[in-house]
Amino acid sequence: MAAVGTWSFSRPAVEKTMSMLLAGQNATDVVETAMSEVEDDVDTGRHIVGRGGYPNFKGVVECDAAIMEGLPGRFGAVAALRGIAQPCRVARKVMDRSPHSLLVGEGAESFAQELGFISEPNKNMLSDHTSTAYQEFLEKNKSVVSGHDTLGLIALDLSGNITVGVSTSGAPFKSPGRVGDSPLPGCGLYADHTVGAAAATGDGDKIMCYCPSFHVVQLMRQGSSPNEACQAVLADIQRRIRGDTCFEIGLIALNIKGEVGAASSVEFPYTFWKQGMGSVEKLVLNQASVDKSKN
């Protein structure tokens, strides 16, 4: 059993994951529940996730989320979803109840409503912090937001099932309908029950062009450790860019042995737990670095 999450604000989700895994619950239920609690917390919205997230340039919060099991074909996602503070729960329903894998905009909202989700007014999706930031954006015509984005969470349960989930309210003050890497399989997340799983965070418009999560899992399939795979994918992207600096990207990975890895082009705190540890720990990667201590 093991779990890993992106950024420092993932700690509550990883702690919830730890307790649920120790209680014998399956990885998918764990990921959905742990992520939804963070999504619905207005205080974590400033990290660009769920309720309290930053709106698009018209002032409307639009969320993206996805969940993927290691079993073939088990994937569900929503994008540009309005009015629902726990988009990961809707993504789970897409995976379980829809003949489709990705629903967007009005279609995603209608699907959620049909299954009993209540669409809230946009004002309920904003926080005082993000409302103020939006007003400053309108007045100055530029974004001054700093912080992190995308909650990524991977869980490996006692039976060896592995599931990964991602959730974000997207780039602050983005164009309406803009979708980044997060809800796209292979880009923001990927899982294979014979190998492991990976998730990405950072500049989604750039990340989606490189399918890094799929690449990480494929390298683990070929024998690389999670750390080696994350480092190799980051190095490959930097090589292909052919520049001195890389866009913002952080990668986390977990294999079916319970080994954790990460790499990033920026300072990147992440949290993790695995069986035998008494509590969740946090590690911080420096710019363009990879943690080599946990395999």
Report strand pairing: 75-82 vs 102-104. parallel
**Rounded mean pLDDT of the chain?**
94
**pTM score:** 0.95
Helices vs strands, H then E, count in the chain: 9, 13
Active-site residue set: 150
Tell me what pLDDT residue 144 has: 67
233 in a labelled binding site: no
Give the pLDDT band of residue 209 (cuts 50, 70, 90). Answer: very high
Residues paired with residue 295 on neighbouring β-strands, in sequence order: none
30-34, 130-134, 189-193: the lowest-pLDDT one: 130-134
Q: Regarding the domain delimited by 2-290, which CATH topology (the fold level of the hierarchy) does it fall under?
A: Glutamine Phosphoribosylpyrophosphate, subunit 1, domain 1 (3.60.20)
Alpha-helical runs (H) found in the chain: 11-22, 27-39, 87-97, 105-114, 122-125, 128-140, 204-207, 212-221, 226-241
Tell me what pLDDT residue 15 has: 98
Calpha distance 279→140 (Å, rounded): 44
Mean pLDDT of 193-222: 97
178 in a labelled binding site: yes
96 in a labelled binding site: no
Residue type, 76: G
Task: Decide: 182 and 66 in contact? Cβ < 8 Å.
Answer: yes
Mean pLDDT of 61-76: 97
DSSP 182-243: TTSBTTTEEEETTTEEEEEEE-HHHHTTT-HHHHHHHHHHTT--HHHHHHHHHHHHHHHHTS
Tell me what pLDDT residue 243 has: 73
188 in a labelled binding site: no
